[in-house]
Every structure is written in C-alpha cells, then in structure tokens.
C-alpha cells in the first residue's frame, strides 16, 4: 500500500491576509489565493495550510472566530472557498484549514448569550466564568497571565449594570476560553470538523492544541512559566524536568484528539491533523502523535534552534527518536506567522534558542549572512526524514520587517504589552509579487487601496517575478529543491545515518544513495568524497563547501 500522503508532504502556509488580494481592498483573500495557485503548484509543494478564514472581528487576525462554519466576507464567500478547494485539488494540492478550539471570539453568539444570561446560567458554563477574589470580587480569580500580556481574566458588567464575574482568556480579552468539559463545546467542534471535511478540506492545523483542558478548580500556581527555562546541571544547561502545568499540555486533552481522530478516519480518504503545540519536551510532544491521536505536530524546537551544528544535530536526533517511538513522521519548520522570519534570525549571532522579534532587535544584523544561512537551512530541512512546512514569503527570502511604524502595528501583543513588545506584524507584511514599488502586485492592477501593512521600499528585487528564472535566486533554489525532493526516493519519510565530519559540519546519508552536508562553521571545509553534488545552496569553489553553505549529494551508481 502506498504511504499516506502526509508522511512526507511539503505544506505551504498561506497567511491569507497577506498572500494575495483579489478584490483590491488591500487585504488578502480567497480570490487572491485562486489567482496564485499556479505559483504554488510550480513551486512543487504538496499541500496548503490556510490560516483562519472564518468570520471574525479580527482582534487577533482571525484567531478570534465568531462563526466556525462560514467565511469572513472580507475574504470571500463559502462558494469561493469551495471553488478554491476544487481548483487546488485539480492542481494536485491538498488543503488544510486552521481550527481554533481553545477560544472563540467575544462576538460568537455563545459568548453574547452568556453575557446576557448572567451568573449561574447554563450559557456561562460553555466558557470559564468565575467570581472575583477580594472585597466585592474586584480581584481576578487567580494569577494566570495572558500570552499577550497582563492578566488572563477580564471582568464583565452584568445585565443589571453591576460589576460582575470574570472570564478566562489565555490570549486577548476578545478571545474567551471555551470550557472543554462541556458537552456542547465538544459536539459543536465535531460538527465544524465535519462541515469542512464534507466540503473537501483534507485536514486541520489545530491552534494551541496543548491548551484546551484546564486543571479542575483553576488553581493558582506559583510556577506558571512556559516554556520552562533550562536548568544548570553540572555546569551544563539542561531542559527543566517535566511538571504538570495548570493549563498547558494537560493529559486530559488527549481524550479530545482521540475523538477527533476517529472522525478523521471515518472518511474514505482519511483526513489529517497537525498540532500547534508549544511543548518543549520531545517525549511530551510525541504523546500527541500516538497512533490513535494526531498525525503530526509542528517541530518548534527545530524552528527555534540556533545556528550551531552540535545543537542542530541534537535537536534532529531527539526529534527522530521520539517520533520513531510513536510511529509518527517528524515535521521540520523554519518560520510561521508568529515568529521572526528566519532570514533575520540567522542574520544575528544567537546563543540561546528563540524566535521572537524582541529577542533580535538591537543586535547587529547581517542580512546577507542571514540569507546564505537560510539557503543552507532549507536544503537541510527538505532533506530530513518526514514532512516540512514553508511559510509564505520564505521562498522569496523575505526578511522580518523590523521598522514598521508604531501606528500600523495590529498585533494585540503591542497594546497588551504596554507598547514594550512590537509583536508579530513584521513577518506578516503582504507578499511582493511583481513590479518595483508597493504594492508589488499584491493587489490587482489599478486598485488604489494600500496593503494592510506597508511593504518596504526595497522589495523590488525580491518579487516572485524578479526571481523567476534567475538561477541564483531563493525562489529558484526552493523550486529546484522541492522538485528534486519529489524525484528522489531516499527523501521524505524514513531514516538518516549521520556522517562522521569535522566539528561544525553536519552531514548525513539516506538510502538509496543520497547525502546532505551543511557547513555551519565560518570557514570553508572539504566536501565528503565519493559523491556527486546534485544541488548546492551557493557556489562551491575548488570542490570546497564554503561557510553557511549546504549541498545535496548523490552516490554514483556502481
């Protein structure tokens, strides 16, 4: 029997607001995606993951959903969505949507109903309402903090005008957490999954998959840190030992995914899931991937890894070992819509793992070095066993836009942090498709609307049009690598064998006859002998592998 498609798929992430604008309002939409399907098919990816396209007040860019079974009018209609699904499938592309089960929008009818129905009502049971502490209940029920800054609790005004209960929101106040102990919540999400599966959607990315279930009684905890900081053991930094947390990665969440898996498997062409679970410990992450749970999970340890051969090898090795234990394929991901673009991360000397813009700002950046490392990194990523993700724009070598004016910042993090954390907008700037000046073909010719975030003046050479056909461009490197990956039986799912190479050089072979070598040092090194180079991330003068360069190798047939 053929391997299931998802075990080695390369999945392209479409951040819909910023991919392509089909109707000329400056915001990306479904018509824009349809107009660019050729780009995606030519690139050589197998599937698309589209960020939330449901009706939303956009307090958190669509991760605040007010109706899970419809399409946001600014993105199009349900008919547009169905047309896209058909066209993508005709082009050989699978489509994953993004489901947001931890919280709804505060404009969701359930939440409006809960506010109106008042304390003690059945409608409030679907969320996590609690009385406050202290005199008059003026203090939040516990000390939990929101991911976006500040308390994770918001007080409501009761229908009679009095100051009332508080509700939990692990993210923005406009994103009240749902109560996953409630049967209505479980039933409604199954209905949503079925709704989209029945329309041909091939699977879902599950937003904050590790959060749904909270510790009964919502206890205050002294240790809410997440991810937990490494601890020093005998002078070396080690991962902190696992301890239960009141809301992240609780064991009870797995029951939900066992139900979801049964639903996915009930289709003739079974549907698939990918978990967004920021769970640091490989063994804990692997629990989501047991055979009766989710198919795959993003590998954020790899995404956050520093440019260091020893560290990369350790992360890759641990990942493969833990995934092997549960029979799931690993995934490899360098960037997404929540982290600083990897070109800009690699442009800095990084000593501790991490991925946020705030960690980078102020450190000297060498973007040419960042791009060279990014080129080397994608050949590594696509050669590793399992499936891989490409975040829109990385195939163009886009950098993080670090100097967006304060007044355009739209990520709730900016406001919630009291203007100390600039948030995630810098990786969400609309894509440059063609031309020399903004909007670089993002909106249709003749439209006067500005893209929802301003694009840098210097992106002319980075447009898809400018890079197409230029053999030295990032785009052509992605195309070449993705097409060769498809034709190379050794790539995709499977195993690797590490090569014994000098310190700072990472290399492995995969059978039959494939090798990958990455020079993570600052000096050129000799290429391993006995192989032909089939693809390299940069020029290889005198048979050497320069610094920040990688190569794909083939053992000549005997």
Name the residues that contact ligand TEU, by CB under 6 A.
60, 63, 100, 147, 171, 207-208, 276, 278, 337-338
Query: By C-beta, is 176 or 439 nearer to ligand TEU?
Result: 176
Helix (H) or strand (E) holding 407: none
Helix (H) or strand (E) holding 467: helix 464-467
276 tagged catalytic: yes
Smallest distance, ligand TEU to C-beta of residue 208, A: 5
How long a stretch of residues is the chain? 558
Query: By C-beta, is 245 or 484 nearer to ligand TEU?
Result: 245
Beta strands in 59-214 (DSSP E): 94-99, 129-130, 153-157, 163-168, 203-206
Cβ-closest position to ligand TEU: 63
Residue of 21, 276, 280, 399 with catalytic role = 276
Query: By C-beta, is 391 or 514 nearer to ligand TEU?
Result: 391
CB 28 within 8 A of CB 441: no
CA distance 340 to 328: 28
153 DSSP β-pair partners? 168
Query: By C-beta, is 8 or 425 nearer to ligand TEU?
Result: 425
Query: By C-beta, is 68 or 531 nearer to ligand TEU?
Result: 68
Pairing of strands 514-519, 549-554: antiparallel
- Residues in CB range of 63: below 8 A, 6 or more apart: 52, 56, 100, 171, 175, 207
CA distance 491 to 46: 14
SS3 129: strand
Query: By C-beta, is 413 or 467 nearer to ligand TEU?
Result: 413
- Sheet-wide strand order for 514-519: 497-498, 505-510, 514-519, 549-554, 532-536
207 tagged catalytic: yes
Smallest distance, ligand TEU to C-beta of residue 148, A: 7
Smallest distance, ligand TEU to C-beta of residue 154, A: 15
Smallest distance, ligand TEU to C-beta of residue 64, A: 8
Smallest distance, ligand TEU to C-beta of residue 542, A: 44
Smallest distance, ligand TEU to C-beta of residue 210, A: 9
Residue of 64, 72, 188, 207 with catalytic role = 207
- For the chain, count helices (H), then strands (E): 15, 20
Cα→Cα distances 257→65, 192, 195, 254, 275, Å: 20, 14, 17, 5, 10
Q: Which residues are identified as catalytic? A: 207, 276
């Amino acid at each position: 029997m053929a391997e299931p498609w998802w075990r080695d798929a390369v999945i392209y992430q479409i951040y819909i607001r910023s991919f392509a604008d089909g109707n000329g309002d400056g915001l990306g939409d479904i018509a824009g995606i349809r107009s660019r399907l050729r780009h995606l098919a030519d690139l050589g990816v197998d599937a698309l993951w589209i960020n939330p396209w449901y009706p939303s007040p956009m307090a958190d860019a669509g991760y605040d959903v007010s109706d899970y079974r419809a399409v946001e009018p600014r993105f199009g209609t349900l008919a547009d969505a169905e047309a896209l699904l058909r066209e993508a499938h005709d082009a050989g592309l699978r489509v994953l949507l993004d489901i947001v089960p931890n919280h709804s929008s505060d404009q969701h009818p359930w939440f409006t109903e809960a506010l109106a129905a008042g304390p003690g009502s059945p409608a409030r049971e679907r969320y996590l309402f609690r009385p406050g502490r202290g005199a008059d209940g003026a203090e939040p029920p516990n000390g939990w903090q929101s991911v976006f800054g500040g308390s994770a609790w918001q007080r409501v005004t009761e229908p009679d005008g009095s100051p009332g209960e508080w509700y939990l929101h692990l993210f923005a106040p406009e994103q009240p957490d749902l109560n996953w102990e409630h049967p209505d919540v479980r039933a409604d999400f199954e209905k949503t999954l079925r709704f989209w599966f029945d329309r041909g959607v091939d699977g879902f990315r599950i937003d904050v998959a590790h959060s749904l279930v909270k510790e009964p009684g919502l206890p205050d905890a002294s240790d809410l840190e997440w991810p937990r900081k490494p601890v020093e053991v005998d002078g070396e930094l080690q991962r902190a030992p696992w301890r239960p947390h009141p809301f992240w990665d609780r064991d009870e969440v797995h029951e939900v995914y066992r139900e979801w898996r049964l639903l996915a498997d009930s289709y003739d062409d079974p549907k698939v899931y990918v978990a967004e679970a920021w769970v640091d410990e490989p063994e804990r992450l692997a629990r989501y991937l047991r055979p009766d749970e989710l198919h795959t999970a993003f590998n954020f340890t790899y995404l956050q890894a520093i440019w260091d051969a020893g560290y990369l090898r350790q992360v890759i090795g641990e990942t493969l070992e833990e995934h092997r234990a549960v029979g799931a394929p690993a995934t490899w991901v360098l960037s997404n819509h929540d982290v600083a673009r990897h070109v800009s991360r690699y442009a800095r000397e990084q000593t501790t793992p991490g991925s946020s813009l705030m960690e980078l700002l102020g450190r000297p950046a060498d973007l040419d070095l960042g791009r060279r490392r990014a080129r080397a990194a994608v050949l590594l990523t696509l050669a590793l066993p399992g499936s891989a993700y490409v975040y829109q724009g990385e195939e163009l070598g886009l950098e993080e836009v670090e100097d967006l004016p304060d007044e355009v910042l739209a990520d709730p993090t900016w406001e919630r942090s009291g203007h100390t954390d600039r948030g995630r907008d810098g990786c969400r700037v609309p894509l440059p498709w063609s031309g020399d000046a903004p909007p670089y073909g993002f909106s249709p010719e003749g439209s006067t609307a500005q893209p929802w975030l301003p694009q840098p003046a210097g992106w002319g050479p980075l447009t898809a049009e400018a890079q197409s056909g230029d053999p030295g461009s990032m785009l052509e490197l992605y195309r070449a690598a993705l097409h060769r990956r498809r034709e190379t039986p050794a790539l995709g799912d499977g195993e690797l064998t590490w090569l014994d190479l000098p310190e700072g050089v990472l290399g492995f072979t995969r059978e039959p006859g494939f090798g990958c070598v990455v020079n993570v040092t600052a000096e050129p090194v000799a290429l391993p002998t006995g192989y032909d180079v089939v693809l390299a991330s940069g020029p290889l003068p005198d048979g050497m592998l320069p610094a920040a360069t990688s190569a794909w190798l083939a053992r000549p047939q005997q």
